[in-house]
Structure 1
Amino acid sequence: MLKKAPLYSLFCLVTLPMLAQKHPVPDPLMLNNGGRVTSAKEWQTQRRPELLERFASEMYGHSPGKPAAMTFKVFDTDAKALGGKATRKQVAIYFNGKPDGPRMDVLIYSPNQVKGPVPAIVSLNFWGNQSVNSDPAIRISTSWIESGKGNPYIDVSCVVNHQATEACRGLNARQWPVDSILSRGYALVTAYREDIASDEPSTKFTTGVHPLYPEFQNRGDNFGTVAAWAWGLSRIMDYLQTDKAIDAKRVAVFGWSRLGKAALWAGATDKRFALVISHESGAGGAKLFHRGVGENIRRLCTVFPHWFAGNFKKYMDQDTLLPFDQHMVISLIAPRPVYVASAEQDKGSDPEGEFEGAKAASEVYKFLGTTGLPIADMPPLNQSVQGQIGYHIRPGGHDVTDYDWAQYLRFMDNHIKKK
């Protein structure tokens, strides 16, 4: 049993009827006082706030609100970008309003063939905005960039002393089908993770936004890096609400791997995101810790000690006994649409655990009157199942492919694209 676990958490360790597991997962519809949620209003006003506080206190950390002094500066606009297909806009977000303070550069491509405000997909990227497309006008990131030989996802030989060079343009374009996104009538909005918070353990909490909020550090519920990335996604949304070219009520948030964890938490904490896509987010994302399979809490807290709040460390080696789990994070997005996806060979992310996380969250979606996940058993490879919750698993490993994007765009068409 978990040491010093609050008494109410013992009431929550019940078996959901829809799951037959060795280690039962907590019921998201069970209140802290042991009672059960009986109405949609009670979910929104009582249970949802309870869960948000639990995850903020014990896992992701508490985050600051919108900075009062934050400012936006559009420093580039080209109405004939990408051969005339798009309008490119680049925006600097100054978190404390000072040009010499921490800054996030946001790259926006909007489709020229669509009139009026367009829906958009927002995502953080791994190697800087210049990596998304070979467009020579994209401002090259000056933030620290991951490098090293043998990177399994990308050839990072263009990165010199952890700085991007001109050779890094389009470095990761294969994972960003800009033409497909634009042709479907969506804007692509992206920013670099390191502009917000460092993913390098040796510089954790010393760059990006963290120095602006010392009061959120040196405590058990500190502002972790995953939470900081989610917070940064909300700051992008703050800007989009001022941009007349974007329909801010039809914005999806997407993330892959660790950035998929951030996308889920952003969707859970910010209702302005109309749709959430969690791509191979694994532990701390969509997968269930209670299965005891794949990446575990000990690895998260030792290999990536900056990702989550300090309080999360007390659950190391207690994965199957947690008083909470990731289906509850997915549930916090309800009834907004959410898509979870896996890859067959991505064993660390535990594909079955990601499916089971979506399946367990479906209980809340159905309680709130939506379809939830419309299947009970994991689908075969390359079969996208789409209700209010979507899911697919494809062949291959930890990556983002054209097949994945095809399913996401279809899901977005069904839920946020005007007919």
Structure 2
Amino acid sequence: MVLDTDAFPPASRLPSNPDLPDPLETLAGEPVSTPAEWRARRSELEALFRYYVYGYAPGPEPIAADVDRTESVLDGKATLLEATIRFVDLPDDAPTIELALFVPTDVNEVPVFLGLNREGNHAVVDDDAVTITDRGRRFGTDECGTQRKYWCVERILERGYGFATYHCADIDPDRDDFTDGIHPYYDTDDLPGPPGTEWGTLAAWAWGLQRCVDYLRTESVVRSDEIAVVGHSRRGKAALLAGATDERIGLVVPHQSGTGGCALSRDNDQESVARINGTFPHWFNDVFPAFGSRESRLPVDQHLLVALVAPRPLLDTEGSRDYWANPGRAYDALQAAAPVYDLLGAEGLVGTGRLSDGDELTAETADTLCQYRRETGHTLNRGYWDVILEFADLHFSRRD
């Protein structure tokens, strides 16, 4: 399906629609009733999200990876592979992704969780075997293990999974000038969309996650069809965007991702489109701010981004006291995306599709689409990881 993005109207000329756009109806109003028709609708939705919200990223960039291997880290529990991912067609001074991959000792092949970190790879574990990069010091911390209780890497390994992470500053340090990351290495002419639709920080982080997937799928210790992407808060937004636009990713966990993530933009009484663009103008493209206080004109909403993950499993983990992330509107997004899961033969929501602290997560209580709330504020910890790992156990093959 070839879309004429020149025909996409500006926000001021889009009709106002307080109801959520129907995932099974095209922009032209035609019904979508078969998986083949969904493929065309899927292409349309991705173009709409790029044009109106996140911006167009470059296509897949050829990579090369230089890998250093360290045995017996984390008191012998893991092997560490540190991959420097280079973009071979970019200049030598272009940023590289420094990916740290932890896998359980003496295993042949494992599923892997991939996530963005905010303080540096060395911050996710308390082990000085992990390299502290220049960007890790500059944009993160010079201390090891400051986020170990957040990422729970040893628990992940104990459950038979690997864990891969890169520091978000490798691609973009989350500043609004776009001078110290990947953006300067792509002219606007290199990007598919018209002026104003260039990629923001969230699209850049998601693109970086997808380049990590490029590498991970070549690594013999990784089960290439069992790569899960996970992120918290703003990095949860990037994780959802990466999973929605890359069907190689097998499972998606946007943790407390809020506005621009799982939470709907319409009727959002917490972080509105106007507020998020006012505070973080660099996260999105230059078109999205026009929908501030005019959310009803959006031709998309976040349930459609969730729908792009279908039929792959998605777990939306939320804190009941994390009001700013608006777990209620995130749950509404999952409900509105469920018809696409049904169309594609995945059960989607089981029962209400919402579980809480104390509820057992099993095949009888959760299928491919689920929200799980815990009694917390805005955080990631062992309790959440236990839920995430249980969900992955339902959908990834049994470990050796």
TM-score by length of 2: 0.91
1:162 to partner: Cα distance = 5.0
1:184 to 141, 159, 176: 159
Separation (CA, whole Å) in 1 of partners of 2:275 and 2:119: 24
Separation (CA, whole Å) in 1 of partners of 2:173 and 2:52: 21
Structure 1 range deviating more: 207-216 or 257-266: 207-216
2:57 to 57, 63, 71: 63
What amino acid is aligned across from residue 330 of structure 1 in structure 2?
A: V
| 1:47 aligned partner | 41
Structure 2 CA distance for partners of 1:404 and 1:214, relative to 1, 3 Å: same
| 1:136 aligned partner | 128
What's the CA shift string for 1:303-341, capped at 9, x where partnerless? 101000101011011124432100000000100011111
Separation (CA, whole Å) in 2 of partners of 1:381 and 1:132: 25
Structure 2 matches for 1:89-104, cutoff 5 A? 89-96=81-88, 100-104=93-97
Q: Does residue 73 of structure 1 match 2:66?
A: yes
1:220 to partner: Cα distance = 1.3
1:334 to 310, 320, 330: 310
Question: How many residues matched?
Answer: 382
Separation (CA, whole Å) in 2 of partners of 1:334 and 1:162: 35
1:381 to partner: Cα distance = 4.2
Give 3-state SS (helix, strand or coil) of 1:190's partner.
strand
Separation (CA, whole Å) in 1 of partners of 2:120 and 2:213: 19
| 1:205 aligned partner | 178
1:31 to partner: Cα distance = 1.0
Separation (CA, whole Å) in 2 of partners of 1:35 and 1:388: 27
What amino acid is aligned across from residue 361 of structure 1 in structure 2?
A: A
Q: Does residue 289 of structure 1 match 2:272?
A: no
| 1:230 aligned partner | 206
Separation (CA, whole Å) in 2 of partners of 1:184 and 1:98: 41
Q: Check whether the contact 1:295–1:348 (CA below 8 A) recurs between aligned residues.
A: yes
What amino acid is aligned across from residue 149 of structure 2 in structure 1?
A: R
1:95 to partner: Cα distance = 2.6
Structure 2 matches for 1:241-256, cutoff 5 A? 241-256=217-232
Structure 2 CA distance for partners of 1:367 and 1:5, relative to 1, 3 Å: farther
TM-score by length of 1: 0.87
Give 3-state SS (helix, strand or coil) of 2:206's partner.
helix
| 1:28 aligned partner | 23
Give 3-state SS (helix, strand or coil) of 1:309's partner.
coil
Separation (CA, whole Å) in 1 of partners of 2:367 and 2:230: 18
1:221 to partner: Cα distance = 0.6
Q: Check whether the contact 2:94–2:182 (CA below 8 A) recurs between aligned residues.
A: no
What amino acid is aligned across from residue 128 of structure 2 in structure 1?
A: P
What amino acid is aligned across from residue 26 of structure 2 in structure 1?
A: L
Percent identity for Structure 1 against Structure 2 = 35
1:283 to partner: Cα distance = 0.1
Q: Does residue 345 of structure 1 match 2:353?
A: no
Q: Check whether the contact 1:198–1:206 (CA below 8 A) recurs between aligned residues.
A: no
| 1:389 aligned partner | 369
1:73 to partner: Cα distance = 0.8
Give 3-state SS (helix, strand or coil) of 2:57's partner.
coil
Separation (CA, whole Å) in 2 of partners of 1:194 and 1:314: 28
What amino acid is aligned across from residue 112 of structure 1 in structure 2?
A: T
What's the CA shift string for 1:59-111, capped at 9, x where partnerless? 0101101223x32111x212222222111110111234665431111001011
2:12 to 4, 22, 30: 4
What's the CA shift string for 1:142-175, capped at 9, x where partnerless? 2277xxxxxxxxxxxxxxx75632xx10011101
Q: Check whether the contact 1:382–1:395 (CA below 8 A) recurs between aligned residues.
A: no
Structure 2 matches for 1:253-332, cutoff 5 A? 253-332=229-308
Q: Check whether the contact 2:119–2:136 (CA below 8 A) recurs between aligned residues.
A: no
Structure 2 CA distance for partners of 1:387 and 1:211, relative to 1, 3 Å: same
Q: Check whether the contact 1:95–1:209 (CA below 8 A) recurs between aligned residues.
A: no
Structure 2: stretches of 5+ with no match in the other structure: 1-9
1:218 to partner: Cα distance = 9.1
